[in-house]
Structure 1
Amino acid sequence: MQRSLAPLILALAAAPAALSVVVPTAPVAAQQASPDLTQVNAYIRGVTTLTADFTQTDRSGQTLTGKLTLKQPGKIRFQYQKGVPLLIVGDGRALTMIDYEVRQVQRWPIGNSPLGALLDPNKDLSKYGKLVPTGDPSILSVEARDPKRPEYGTITMIFKRNASGPAGLQLYGWVALDSQNNRTAVRLSNHVYGATVADSAFRWTDPRPRGRAAGG
């Protein structure tokens, strides 16, 4: 695997080509009162667990696939396809990227990542998110960022209206952009909500010398 993929994986970002992302023009007050934003909040708070297949494409067109496992609050796992020696795990406190090829581990607070918007059901999106027009009434797009911490990056979450999903929505994927302008597209499929997920799913094996089981 090319080492250049590592920073792009950390960004976890770029909009699906089928969706048009436009800078919103509505005033902030109107955004806060939006029932659509309230519905997205309800979706994030309504998800207890989620498993899905993901496809991740970077800005150069390279694509990786794998399995996403999420358990609220704050736990997430990106298990990449066979042959990709990377694992990303969120244990409720921090996100950890483990590179088994070079035996390196990087760890940072979940709140410092664009993914923090998806992994904290107690946050109110109306305080740091805004709707992004898509031109399609069946699709909702919400951009979230911390204006006081631009280095944490930006995430634009894409939802499809779906009566069978939590709060009537289905998470289609997201657009994340880190402070180094690294972008990739993450698209989800084969969603399963509410299944039992053990906390052991968010543990990992430390590949460094004198490694140990970690996470969870």
Structure 2
Amino acid sequence: MNRTIKTFRSCVGAAALAALSVPALVPASTALAASPEDARHLSQAVEALRAIDTLKADFVQTDRSGQSVRGALTLKRPGRIRFQYEKSANMLIVGDGKALTLIDYDVRQVQRWPISNSPLGALLDPKRDVAKYGKVLSTGNPNVVSIEVRDRSHPEYGVITLIFQRKASAPGGLELTYWVALDSQNKRTTIALSNQRYGVPVTDNDFRWVDPRPRNRR
């Protein structure tokens, strides 16, 4: 196993959880103290994310040492997301709105994280209360919006910073271009998106996966 994939395996869980934290925005407590401009940016970001019905994009996941792994993201609201990593990683992450599942085909292992009691999954469930966790960070660029997301009652979830760029053709006029996750052990992971396609055909079959575990051990 090369160094890139070994490093990737050590941080993929945290990065996956960060991925589903994307839209847990617009905290009521922060919004009260925020400037009118910051409150407007928060509202715009939430509306842009909620306006996504289906999405396909390419991504590059990079750890703090600079090691990178590529893949393809597929999203269908409500409830479904898929991170298909490049063949060298031989791993897959699928979210069904209730749990996030990591499938590691090399070691025949399946791991699941519940997302019902955390900010995780807010992107996938339009009924979720998203009024708790976000804070606008200054970027100095009117075309770039940066939002820090954290649940202070659960520091184990870490911190996620979302970076949006203004784009007229994107839903809500804002496009999520990348996010940076810092887990509770201060491991930094960046996921950069490119080639975003909105409103593309996506079926439930896109979120199926093959269980690699021996049948008598499941």
Give TM-score, length-normalised by structure 1: 0.83
Offset of residue 178 of structure 1: 2.0
Query: Considering only aligned residues, what root-mean-square deviation do their CA atoms show, in Å?
Result: 2.3
What's the % identity of the aligned pairs? 58
Q: Which residue of 2 aligns with 1:141?
A: 146
User: Quick one: which of 46, 63, 72 aligns to 2:68?
Assistant: 63
* Amino acid of the structure 1 residue aligned with 2:167: N
What are the ranges of 5 or more consecutive residues in structure 2 without an aligned counterpart? Answer: 17-29
Per-residue CA distance 1:186-215 (angstroms, 9 max, x = gap): 100111001121011111111111189xxx
Supply the distance in 2 between the matched residues of 1:113 and 1:201 (Cα, whole angstroms): 25
Matched, 1:201 2:218: no
**Aligned positions of 1:59-208 closer than 5 A:** 59-111=64-116, 116-123=121-128, 125-208=130-213
Per-residue CA distance 1:97-126 (angstroms, 9 max, x = gap): 111001111100135777535334334544
* Amino acid of the structure 1 residue aligned with 2:9: A
Supply the distance in 2 between the matched residues of 1:128 and 1:162 (Cα, whole angstroms): 24
Supply the distance in 1 between the matched residues of 2:90 and 2:119 (Cα, whole angstroms): 23
* Amino acid of the structure 2 residue aligned with 1:4: T
Per-residue CA distance 1:58-92 (angstroms, 9 max, x = gap): 11111111100011123111111122111111011
Q: Which residue of 1 aligns with 2:24?
A: none
Contact persistence 2:8–2:69 (CA under 8 A):
no
Per-residue CA distance 1:18-72 (angstroms, 9 max, x = gap): xxxxxxxxx7524385111110110111001110000111111111111000111
Matched, 1:8 2:7: no
Q: Secondary structure at the match of 2:13?
A: helix
Q: Secondary structure at the match of 1:137?
A: coil
Supply the distance in 2 between the matched residues of 1:170 and 1:211 (Cα, whole angstroms): 45
Give TM-score, length-normalised by structure 2: 0.83
Supply the distance in 2 between the matched residues of 1:102 and 1:44 (Cα, whole angstroms): 35
Supply the distance in 1 between the matched residues of 2:44 and 2:137 (Cα, whole angstroms): 14
**Aligned positions of 1:14-29 closer than 5 A:** 28-29=31-32
What are the ranges of 5 or more consecutive residues in structure 1 without an aligned counterpart? Answer: 14-26
Aligned residues: 199
Which 4+ residue blocks in structure 1 deviate beyond 6 angstroms?
none
